[in-house]
Amino acid sequence: MYRIVIADDEAMERKVLEKMIRESCPEAELLPSVSNGIELVNSIETYAPDIAVIDINMPGFNGLDAMEIVRLKNLQTHFIVVSAYGKFEYAQKAIHLGACDYLLKPVSEAKLAQSIQKVAGQLQEEQRQQADKNGIANMVQTYQTTRENELMSALLLGELSGEQTESYLSERNRKFYAGCILCVRSLEECGNTDTERDIFLHFLEQMKRISSCMGKVYRHDLIVCLFLGTEILDHEWRIGVEDTLTCVLSALGEKKLKIGVSGYKYVPEELYDGIRESQAALMGGSSESGQFFSEEIVFYSALAGRGRKNSIPSMLDQCMEFLRQKNQAGFSDALKQIEEHAGGSKAPGNILSLYMAVFLYRAVQQIAPHRRMELFCSKAYSSIFEQTDTTALLTDVYELAARLIFGGEEPAYHRYVQKSLAYIEQHYMENLTLDQAAGEIGISSFYLSRLFKQCLDNTFLNILTNLRLTKALELLASEKYTVQEISEMAGYLNVSYFYKLIKKQTGLTVSEIKRLL
């Protein structure tokens, strides 16, 4: 079944054409005929006929003008021109405007029927192709929805891998640079889970229009994984996310939502931590676990209490001042205060170890820079992240500071050890090996390894790792470099390995370290 409208300024011609079509094309539905171009355009806009059989010479708009207007409006009617004008330029313009056929009056019933059947065949083929496209689009949509649900389920279970994320994004011609998690909570008094779910799905739909993300309703919240386009600095990404969320909330109108935003995640494996952070941001409000960006948007902040007088970073500032003054008693008392504070607040050992490792390096670098390699060679410094007892950790920190800063005697290393340590410090950013270091000073790697054990009670790899890790931590505290750049500057060309090494050595992710420092 297809619908036809006839446009001709002569009533007799309209009646003749109607009769021909009824008799030769019984499957066609005839719409009310029109007598001019204006009525033709209105009829096509109102009824959307499949075929229009039109004359050229009509009052108002002529047939060709009407065709041009219909094409500009992107309406999909097919045209058959039936005209007394036999000039080539008319037929040429009609074909240019998309006419399927150009018939001269008086037209026979057989020719008109043949032309209509030809167009009807085109319509059927177009409908078939459109059905195929719709079917493919539905299959793709179903596949994408299924993939998204699978990945979100893996994320919620803490099982999302980098390979899964990269595969998902590559299907959309994107790469993973960074991401964050949104926890969206409805403040509407719905009293109906279906209504709440509709609000969440509308929010997610709007988010997908202007950003790359995936989401899933989880319990009474919507959890959204937002993929950030490039690796940008901390203050910049928050502004970008805030702009995106403000735009979406504006599009939703009066719907009341509150959104918790996690910290910046550098690798997909860290996104799971973002769920807890985004939920904590919502729960914490303006307290230490979160900080308001607006009434509706709350960004997670692990450091809301950093500037307070009794925070560990501020206590370490006091420790640094005692070291500069060579006030050993004051330094000892300050460490005891940190021990009391850490024990009272049940601070995780790896966070305190992080603060102490960076503190020791900065202290030696600023006050006794000539002894920094001695710090990296120390067994106590090598095991600083392995300490789980706060008292033992702070005792090691005190003894290292006493030896390196308060005038402890400098060790007299074997000349080969001194040369190799100097070489390590100069070339740690390169792909350095024990063989290279030994060859540079003209001895075997076996002999150099034995000297390290005898003189330093440590290994080449431990010392190199201490140096690289400390340099990386110091760079992570700065906002000048991307993680990729920091990885290379610390001697690790493979950034994925760098992420894993940081986690293995410190027990903390790169994102956590950047926030803490």
Same fold, 2-126 and 157-300: no
Share of the chain above pLDDT 70, in %: 92
> Residue 270 is encoded by which pair of tokens?
């860290």
pLDDT for residue 255? 78
CA distance 108 to 65: 26
What mean pLDDT comes out for the span 168-183?
Answer: 90
Angle between helices 390-404 and 349-367 (to 10 degrees): 10
Contacts of 333 (CB under 8 A, 6+ apart): none
CA distance 302 to 307: 12
What mean pLDDT comes out for the span 272-278?
Answer: 89
pLDDT, averaged across the chain: 87
pLDDT for residue 507? 84
In the β-sheet with 28-30, what is the strand arrangement from edge to edge? Answer: 28-30, 2-7, 51-54, 78-83, 101-104
| DSSP code string of 275-292 | HHHHHHHHHHTTSTTEEE
What mean pLDDT comes out for the span 489-512?
Answer: 87
pLDDT for residue 78? 95
pLDDT at 209 over 70: yes
pLDDT for residue 495? 84
CATH number corresponding to 157-300: 3.30.70
Residue 247 parent element (H or E): helix 234-252
What mean pLDDT comes out for the span 154-165?
Answer: 90
The residues facing 180 across adjacent strands are 226
CA distance 207 to 247: 9
266: confidence class by pLDDT, cuts 50, 70, 90: confident
50 secondary structure, DSSP code: S
pLDDT for residue 514? 80
pLDDT for residue 348? 42
Given the candidates 3.50.50.100, 3.20.20.70, 3.40.50.2300, 3.40.50.300, the CATH classification of the domain at 2-126 is 3.40.50.2300
Instruction: Give rounded-to-5 percent helix, strand, coil for the chain.
Output: 60, 10, 30
pLDDT for residue 459? 93
Q: Which residue has the higher pLDDT, 235 or 181?
A: 181
* Own/partner pairs, 449-458, CB within 8 angstroms, 24+ separation: 451/414, 451/416, 451/417, 451/420, 452/417, 452/420, 455/411, 455/413, 455/414, 455/417, 456/377, 456/413, 456/417, 457/379, 458/377, 458/378, 458/379, 458/382
pLDDT for residue 340? 81
pLDDT at 349 over 60: no
Pick the range with the lowest mean pLDDT from 26-40, 231-245, 251-265: 231-245
Q: How many CB atoms lie within 10 A of CB 188?
A: 13
Are 183 and 221 contacting, i.e. CB atoms less than 8 angstroms apart? yes
SS3 per-residue string spanning 291-328: EECCCCEEEECCCCCCCCCCCHHHHHHHHHHHHHCCCH
191: confidence class by pLDDT, cuts 50, 70, 90: low
CA distance 508 to 517: 12
Pick the range with the lowest mean pLDDT from 25-29, 107-111, 129-133, 405-409: 405-409
Q: Which residue has the higher pLDDT, 342 or 51?
A: 51
Angle between helices 495-506 and 349-367 (to 10 degrees): 100
pLDDT tens by residue, 350-360: 788 888 999 99
Radius of gyration of the chain (CA): 37
Q: State pTM to two decimals.
A: 0.52
pLDDT for residue 207? 95
Question: What residue spans define the domains of the chain?
Answer: 2-126, 157-300, 312-404
Closest Cα partner for 262 from 178, 206, 157, 159? 178
Helix (H, G, I), strand (E, B) or coil at 227: strand
193: confidence class by pLDDT, cuts 50, 70, 90: low
Q: Spell 101-114 as b/e; 16+ CB within 10 A means b.
A: bbbeeebeeeebbe
What mean pLDDT comes out for the span 493-517?
Answer: 84
pLDDT tens by residue, 86-145: 778 888 899 899 999 999 999 999 999 999 999 999 998 988 888 888 788 778 778 888
* Tokens 């205060």 belong to residue: 337
pLDDT at 171 over 70: yes
What mean pLDDT comes out for the span 327-342?
Answer: 87
pLDDT tens by residue, 47-79: 999 999 999 999 888 999 999 999 999 899 999
What mean pLDDT comes out for the span 182-189?
Answer: 85
Are 264 and 240 contacting, i.e. CB atoms less than 8 angstroms apart? no
pLDDT at 290 over 60: no
CA distance 492 to 123: 62
Strand-strand pairing, 212-218 and 51-54: unpaired
CA distance 55 to 80: 9
pLDDT at 44 over 50: yes
pLDDT for residue 306? 44
Q: Which residue has the higher pLDDT, 83 or 344?
A: 83
pLDDT tens by residue, 382-402: 888 887 788 888 999 999 998
Q: Which residue has the higher pLDDT, 484 or 191?
A: 484
pLDDT tens by residue, 303-314: 444 444 557 788
CA 118 from centroid of its chain's CA atoms? 51
Q: Which residue has the higher pLDDT, 41 or 134?
A: 41
Are 359 and 320 contacting, i.e. CB atoms less than 8 angstroms apart? yes
Q: How many CB atoms lie within 10 A of CB 231?
A: 14
pLDDT at 251 over 80: yes
Residue 233 parent element (H or E): none
